[in-house]
Structure 1
Amino acid sequence: MDAEHYIRETLGLPCQITSWDGTASLPLFLTNGRTFSKLTIDNTSMLIASGEAHPFSITRVTADASRLEQRTDLPIVFQFPRLSAYQRKALIQNHVPFIVPGTQLYIPSLGMVFTQRISSRPLENAQDIEVRPFSPATQLVWLYLLYSNESKVQSDIARALQFTEAQVSVAVTLLEQLAFVHRTKQGRSNSVELLTSRQTSRLDLLKSSWHLLKSPIFSKYTVTNRNRQMIADELIPAGEFALSRRTQLATPKLRIYAVERHWLKQHNKELCIIDPALEKVPDNAYILELWRYDPRLLAQYTQEDYLADPISTALTLGEIADERLEDAIQESIRNTFSGVTI
């Protein structure tokens, strides 16, 4: 199977591999033994480097990837005829994209979660897949489908979550292999629905996937606003604060808000970060959680305000051993799956 056919079959999206005429501009030590072609997936362009003149060396491959990206201004994907388990692990640990046509595909820029043998068809046994915790993109797609509880067109998912169709397709491919969803072709579109049944509820699917989910928190800070009293519109009540708004749990001393992690870079001059270990925390302080995905994309409206979704909230509180919190988390998730959708 050639690379173009394999990528098209795996991602379920149109892709094109064309010749690339920039080889002459590269130094010999980067082109020796290699051929180059341009890969386009969903308006995203990459450069495929095929062939190797030297024995495999992760140090050299990593260095070459960096040099090629700097000189071509394109993400690099290395194509190999085969890889050993050691070579594959080394490439993944160093975040080097690669493809072995018909067998293996790893392109993290598309939100790819690596599987040992990825294909467009569900595996008979989901245990045959080597699965790591979901990437933020895959987790976001999965939670969106769980909350929606209805068939969704892939392009609509991409639009709702502000992803490319390629990112959604990669996430859905893994979810399909794990027997969490089913994908069907409808004309030119792919439709995705949960694999629920009389014996398998949405809550059952959530339990089956729980070990693959991660807390969305990238980092968190105790902060105060410098010049205003109002909370920025982008901030979503989260953590124990959101939980108290959904259940009978008491409101925490410090309010907790979540925001996409890059937000702080643009607004750090508006905030004063406090170190609770070194200084007194003022009454108007609050905790700011920086998330790996935008909490607004899954936020759910209550009687008064939007709150961070209950599953992500539960994941952020997972390491806190508190029976009150555990009971409130269970209550909020049960209430969510009793019929509330986004």
Structure 2
Amino acid sequence: MDNGFAEALERYLGETLHDRIKVGGYERTARLPSFLGHAYKLFESNIAGRQCVFLVTEQDIATPSEIAKHVNLVRNEDDAIVIFATPTMSAHNRNRLIRHGVSFVVPGNQLYIPELAMDLREHFRAKRPRQADGLSPAAQAVLFHYLLRRDEYATTPSQLAERLRYSAMSVGRAFDDLVTAGLAETEKQGKERHIAFKSNRRELLDDALPHLRTPVRTEKFVRNGHFAIPLKKAGETALALLTDLSQPHTETYAVASGDWKVVSEACGFIETDRYGAELVIETWAYDPAGLADGPIVDPLSLYAQFRTHEDERAAMAAEQILENIEW
């Protein structure tokens, strides 16, 4: 039970969350009521930056309401996410544990950790359909990373997550999206999943064209700002720097949509209308810094933004971007 279950738990979490998860023995059992150490085998791990403690049993030693009390005892002694783990679980007990707010995992079958926004029960296990309006933001970021970075060795969720500023789980889902779109294949090598794209880079971009979408979610018109945080030039400002397009009167910069509030406060931006704006800030569906090292956003995201633009000059400039990329 000890090593076998820990290995099964480690393997299941790694495969499900597309990350390297290490499950080890729990070293602070002496701090807990003694009966817990007799009733359960305890393990711990780190998942998505949070400490997690697993209460493991292979027998029905307690009712769901009693398990909820045991989980709370551990949580009160150790500020961690406490997860009940067992080799098998009936649908009835699963539903009762959910009503009691107890996180649980059944390796190979079920994962329910609401504190980490993870819910993979039996009726959630069908593949998610690819979004009708194109690749997911994470999938597009993974694709552009491959096309631009030319790094043949960054092929796993854990390798790409830090670079693109996503969680490994999000990158794993991006892999699914790219496979569904017919752009890539994946395979397991050891404990990790690897992605392999099907075409050479230029052909791959052509294959991906029907699935591309603009990274821009919103435009913020601001004034009175100062750059306490460095932002990358974007929009027509970046397009003009990379092509023959004329520079616009108002400069445009990009920021990940989730960072907008922090950036706005740090830079002292005051939102206004288009006509009173000193700067335009685009909020992006993915982090522009994940794909560009220099002061300008990456060219493929610009291409995706402007390739079907209503302004013919901008659309022509987008095509010029592709001509300047070394494939």
Could you say whether these structures have the same fold, taking a TM-score greater than 0.5 normalized by the shorter chain as the test?
yes
Two-structure CA RMSD over aligned residues (Å): 5.7
Opposite residue 230 of structure 2, the aligned amino acid is E
Percent identity for Structure 1 against Structure 2: 24
- Identify if the C-alpha distance between structure 1 residues 177 and 193 changes in structure 2 by more than 3 Å, giving closer, same or farther: closer
Using the TM superposition, give the Cα deviation of residue 254 of structure 1 relative to its aligned residue in structure 2, in angstroms.
Answer: 3.1
The answer to whether 1:287 aligns with 2:280 is yes
| Corresponding position of 1:324 | 311
Using the TM superposition, give the Cα deviation of residue 172 of structure 1 relative to its aligned residue in structure 2, in angstroms.
Answer: 6.3
Opposite residue 17 of structure 1, the aligned amino acid is V
| Corresponding position of 1:262 | 259
CA contact (8 A) 2:144 2:300 kept: no
What secondary structure is seen at the aligned counterpart in 1 of 2:80? coil
CA contact (8 A) 1:234 1:259 kept: no
Q: Deviations over 1:74-122 (max 9, x none)?
A: 34566585798xx99xx9xx9x986553245577999989798999xxx
| Corresponding position of 1:129 | 127
TM-score by length of 2: 0.59
Count the aligned residue pairs.
301
Using the TM superposition, give the Cα deviation of residue 171 of structure 1 relative to its aligned residue in structure 2, in angstroms.
Answer: 4.8
CA contact (8 A) 2:243 2:317 kept: yes
Using the TM superposition, give the Cα deviation of residue 188 of structure 1 relative to its aligned residue in structure 2, in angstroms.
Answer: 9.9
Aligned-partner Cα distance in 1 for 2:254–2:239:
13
| Corresponding position of 2:325 | 340
What secondary structure is seen at the aligned counterpart in 2 of 1:268? helix
TM-score by length of 1: 0.57
Aligned-partner Cα distance in 2 for 1:78–1:313:
48
CA contact (8 A) 1:113 1:171 kept: no
Using the TM superposition, give the Cα deviation of residue 223 of structure 1 relative to its aligned residue in structure 2, in angstroms.
Answer: 2.0
What secondary structure is seen at the aligned counterpart in 2 of 1:307? coil
Q: Whose helix proportion is higher, 1 or 2?
A: 2
Gaps of 5+ in 1: 28-32, 120-127
Matches within 5 A, 1:81-160: 81=88, 99-103=105-109, 129-131=127-129, 137-149=138-150, 151-154=152-155, 157-158=160-161, 160=163
The answer to whether 1:5 aligns with 2:6 is no
| Corresponding position of 2:237 | 241
Aligned-partner Cα distance in 2 for 1:98–1:77:
5
Using the TM superposition, give the Cα deviation of residue 195 of structure 1 relative to its aligned residue in structure 2, in angstroms.
Answer: 1.7
Q: Which of the pair has more CA radius of gyration?
A: 2
Find the partner of 1:37 among 43, 47, 53.
43
The answer to whether 1:311 aligns with 2:301 is yes
Aligned-partner Cα distance in 1 for 2:231–2:123:
40
Aligned-partner Cα distance in 1 for 2:169–2:55:
22
| Corresponding position of 2:23 | 17
Using the TM superposition, give the Cα deviation of residue 257 of structure 1 relative to its aligned residue in structure 2, in angstroms.
Answer: 0.8
The answer to whether 1:204 aligns with 2:216 is no
What secondary structure is seen at the aligned counterpart in 1 of 2:206? helix
Using the TM superposition, give the Cα deviation of residue 296 of structure 1 relative to its aligned residue in structure 2, in angstroms.
Answer: 2.2
